[in-house]
Every structure is written in C-alpha cells, then in structure tokens.
Amino acid sequence: MGRLKMRPVLYLLLLNLIGFLLLFMYKEPKDINILYAGLAVLAINIGVYALMRLLNMGDVYLFLMVSILVSIGIIMLIRLDTGFGYNQVFWFGAGVVVFLVSYLAFRLFKYWDKLLLLYIIVSFALFAITLIFGVSRGGSRNWIAIGGKTVQPSEFIKISYVFALACFFSAKKKKSGPMAGELLGIPKKFIAANIFVYMCLGFLLLQKEWGTAVVFFLTFYAMMFLYDAPKRLMLINALMLVVGLIGGYFLTDHIYSRVATWMDPWADATGKGYQITQSLFAITSGGYFGTGIGNGQPHFIPEVHSDFIFSAICEEMGVFTGIAIIMIYFIYSYRGFKIGLKAKSEFLKALTFGLVLSFAFQTFIIVGGVIKLIPLTGITMPFVSYGGSSMVSCCIMTGILTAVSYLERKR
C-alpha cells in the first residue's frame, strides 16, 4: 500500500502546481512571491503528512482534508488579493505549529476532564474582554485589537465551550455533592449545563453574533440528544429556540432584515439584498466547471474573501469544486465521528462529538447561507475563509481530534 499512501500527496502537488502557476501567469506585474507562497504551502502540507506517517501520530486523513481545503482557500485568496493570500499562508504556518502543540499537549496531559471550572472561567473571561475592549466590524462587536492585529475571541471560546460541555455531559452519576440528585425530575448536570449555555448565548447575543450563537446552541442540542437528556428538557430548549428566533425576528432589525432578504433578495437587490444576489450571480455564472481562475468577477460580492469565499470558488473553479469541498467536509466529519465512537473514555467521546458537531454546523450554516438555503449569518468557513483566528482555532481542533485517535490506537 506504499504507493497508495503517497497518491493523495501526488494530487495535492498537482493541484498546487496548476493553481499557483496559473496565479503567477495571471497577476500583473509578475510577482515571484506567489511561487514561494505555493512552495511554502506545499512544503508544510507534505512535511506534516510525512511526519504523521513516520511517527504514526494517529489519524492522518483529518490532516489530508485540512491540507486540500487550505490549498484551495489560499489559491483563491491570492487570486482575490495577494496581500490576503500571503497573510493566510503565514496563518497556516502558525496554525500548523499550533496543531502540533495542541496535539502534543492533549496526548501528554491526561487530566483535561478535571478542569471544568477553568473552561468556564476562560469562556466568560474572553466574553468579558470582548465586551469591554471589543471593536465593531460588519455589524457585530466581536473583535479585539492586539498590537495592530485583530482577534476574534468567539472562535476560541468555541473550543473552551465544547470542553466545558464535554465535562458536564460525561460527568458520572454522583451520590453526594452539589451535582448529585435531580431537580424537578431532571438530573442536575443537565441543569448546570443549561445555565452555562444560556449565559454564553446571552453574551453572544449582546455582541450581535447570531451565527455563532446558532452554532453553539445546535451543538448543545445535538449533544443533549446524544447523552439522552430527559424529553421534558429537550422540549423546553426547543421552545426557547423558537421563542428566541421569533423574538429576534420582531425585536431586532438584524434578524428581521436577514430573514427578509432570504425570503426575497430581489425586493431590494441593490441595497440589503446586494450581497446575496451577487453571490447567486457568481455561482450561476461559473457553471459546472467555472470560468477558470482569473476569468470571473468575484469582486462584485462584498466580503468575498471571508464569508463569501465559497461563491468565489464556485464561480472560478466551478460548482463541481464546490460540491467537492462539501464532500471533503463530510469526510472530515465522518472521520471525526468515527474517532469519537472508538474513543476510550466518556469525556473523550463527548469532546470529540462536540468539536465535530460544532465544525459541521458551522460549515452547514455558512455554505447554506451563501447559496440561500437558509438565512445568511456571517461566520467563517473553516480552513477556507480568510482569517487567523478561525484558522488557528480549527487547527487546535484538528490537533485534539488527532491526539484522541492516537490515544485510542494504543492498546
């Protein structure tokens, strides 16, 4: 199987070769840095893959999925704006370092399930920092500036949030203590988790980050389902969701306009519906195989480098590439769930499921929003969108999942 193992690397090499050579020919004036960027991306991907194979570090398929997503993303970003592209190469380099560090940390340190209080404190501290020092960008107050760079803390809160949820759900039934027993027929650990989740959601809504709030809630709801929460509690939460959405629709302009443009973007195609109609035009004009890199006009879409990169990819690389990207996300989630099913401790299972669920819901919400399947909410597309916070937090997640897959292989 030696030949087979190298085959994905061969295709990755071909993809980068075609992509970066085209970019080099496309950009005027000629910029040799594009070729260096391509070499750097390729070297990082192949280097880490070889390292993982040689040292038998665990599941390699997750990283393969990451490397093709990042390659497609960077090719598209350099085509859109060289500066964004180079930054993204830098962030990918940083992300890989973080990936290896979080992998080692998770593999060597064994007491992650004992730190519930730390996760809660970290989550709330990050929320508080965002509220106090936050700067507004694109309607949401969810960025903080550190030394000229902006960071999006909610990407990192997502990880501490899932860690905390995993602690709550995997807690064993206790005979005594504050978490023992039931309240109104509902085990107290579920009640504690509910309180924590609604506090987080409250913070997110204060920052007007509806997209992330939906991801948080859906992850929590799916995990309650997995951990067999009482039906009454599930029902109450479903009611809360409906109340929250209806309340948001009538009380805030934010949600109201999003839903209105989703129902009929053509009513105000030059104003509020401009972004989504341009996105639809871009996807349609590409057709099955796209216009070819550099032949389309993706710049008509506002925010094309972050939230709407999927439309740009569909326009220039074709709907087939778009479908392929969705398939790649599927394979990533499938591998994640498979790792979760085989994980040894209850905490690792809960953690893996939580991380993969949040990843899958986030992808669904942004891809669905861009193609007008569901109302649009601005969140990043994991590994493809421009952005350091998103890239680094997704790399942390992949590192943890890979470490879990390593721990379960040891017998």
Partner 1 sequence: MYNLIADILKYGLVLVVYMFIYSVIKLIYLDITDTRRMENSLVGAIAYLKTITIGKNLKYKLFDSYGIRENSVVGSSKKCDVYIKDPYMSKENTSIFLKDGAFYIQDLNSTNGTYVNDKKLTAAPKRLKDGDKIKMGELNFVFVDPYEMA
Nearer to partner 1, 22 or 374 (CB): 22
Contact between 2 and partner 1 by CB under 8 A: the answer reads yes
Contact between 293 and partner 1 by CB under 8 A: the answer reads yes
Q: How far is the CB of 404 from partner 1 (least distance, A)?
A: 15
Contact between 38 and partner 1 by CB under 8 A: the answer reads no
Enter the tokens of residue 217: 């809630």
Contact between 399 and partner 1 by CB under 8 A: the answer reads no
Contacts 24+ apart (CB under 8 A), 117-124: 119/160, 119/161, 119/163, 119/164, 119/167, 120/164, 120/196, 122/157, 122/160, 123/157, 123/160, 123/161, 123/164, 123/200, 124/199, 124/203
Q: How far apart are the two ends of the chain, measured CA to CA in Å?
A: 24
Contact between 68 and partner 1 by CB under 8 A: the answer reads yes
Contact between 407 and partner 1 by CB under 8 A: the answer reads no
Element housing 259 (H / E): helix 253-263
Contact between 265 and partner 1 by CB under 8 A: the answer reads no
Rounded to 10 degrees, the C-alpha dihedral 147/148/149/151 comes to 70
DSSP 114-177: G-HHHHHHHHHHHHHHHHHH-EEETTEEEEEEETTEEE-HHHHHHHHHHHHHHHHHHPPPPSSS
Stretch that binds partner 1, among 12-20, 299-307, 352-360, 375-383 (CB under 8 A): 12-20
Question: Which positions from 333 through 392 interact with partner 1, judged by CB under 8 A?
Answer: 335, 338
Q: How far is the CB of 390 from partner 1 (least distance, A)?
A: 22
- The binder of partner 1 chosen from 42, 66, 70, 72 (CB under 8 A): 72
Which of these, 294, 261, 295, 293, lies nearest to 278 by C-alpha position? 261
Contact between 282 and partner 1 by CB under 8 A: the answer reads no
Contact between 50 and partner 1 by CB under 8 A: the answer reads no
What whole-number distance in Å separates Cα of residue 133 and Cα of residue 149?
A: 13
CA distances for 357 relative to 192, 198, 334, 361, 363, angstroms? 21, 18, 11, 6, 10
Nearer to partner 1, 144 or 317 (CB): 317
Contact between 299 and partner 1 by CB under 8 A: the answer reads no
Q: How far is the CB of 78 from partner 1 (least distance, A)?
A: 14
Nearer to partner 1, 215 or 356 (CB): 356
- The binder of partner 1 chosen from 256, 331, 344, 373 (CB under 8 A): 331
What whole-number distance in Å separates Cα of residue 294 and Cα of residue 76?
A: 9
Q: How far is the CB of 56 from partner 1 (least distance, A)?
A: 10
Contact between 97 and partner 1 by CB under 8 A: the answer reads no
Chain residues that interact with partner 1, rule: CB under 8 A: 1-5, 7-8, 11-12, 14-15, 18-19, 22, 25-26, 61, 64-65, 68, 72, 289-295, 316-318, 320-321, 324, 327-328, 331, 335, 338, 409
